[in-house]
């Protein structure tokens, strides 16, 4: 059964002891993103409510910010298997669809199922920049400078 819970992910998950097979976070497409959902403390909450073989999925399409490195650093810090995919729609006006960018994470690579072997999904790299926390984030490092 799929149940959609609307609201702040951290508050909703903290209030419920239930574990989930799949957690989808889709709150990052506007100009003002909820940074508190991309911190080490937030990821700790998500992982604590994730079933042992569960998957976290982040829809991070954004015209102004590149959030892939932010999530890559978090996944690396937590030792999670992770991958990203840009699903490009060639003719959005004809299909009504738009391109989307996704990051998935799981405790083990095999928990990602068919994603792990799918060539369209790329393994996340990491870099030396600090992981975002409730006490530190640097949105300037995520800006797409065009």
At residue 27, the pLDDT reads 84
At residue 91, the pLDDT reads 67
- Per the structure, how many domains does the chain have? 1
78 in a domain, yes or no? Answer: yes
Residue 90: domain span: 19-136
93 in a domain, yes or no? Answer: yes
At residue 95, the pLDDT reads 66
144 in a domain, yes or no? Answer: no
At residue 92, the pLDDT reads 62
How far, in Å, CA of 7 to CA of 95, rounded? Answer: 30
At residue 50, the pLDDT reads 96
At residue 96, the pLDDT reads 65
pLDDT in tens, 126-139: 888 999 999 999 99
Q: Which residues of the chain have pLDDT under 50?
A: none
């Amino acid at each position: 059964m799929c149940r959609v819970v609307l609201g702040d992910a951290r508050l909703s998950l903290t209030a419920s002891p239930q574990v989930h097979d799949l957690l989808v976070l889709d709150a990052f497409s506007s100009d003002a993103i909820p940074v508190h959902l991309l911190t080490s403390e937030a990821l700790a909450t998500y992982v604590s409510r994730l079933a042992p073989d569960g998957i976290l999925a982040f829809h991070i399409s954004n015209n102004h910010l590149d959030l892939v490195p932010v999530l890559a650093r978090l996944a690396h810090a937590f030792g999670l298997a992770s991958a990203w995919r840009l699903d490009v729609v060639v003719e959005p006006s004809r299909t009504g669809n738009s391109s989307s960018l996704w990051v998935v994470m799981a405790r083990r690579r095999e928990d990602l199922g068919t994603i792990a072997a799918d060539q369209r999904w790329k393994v996340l790299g990491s870099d030396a920049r600090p992981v975002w926390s409730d006490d530190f984030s640097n949105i300037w490092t995520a800006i797409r400078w065009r």
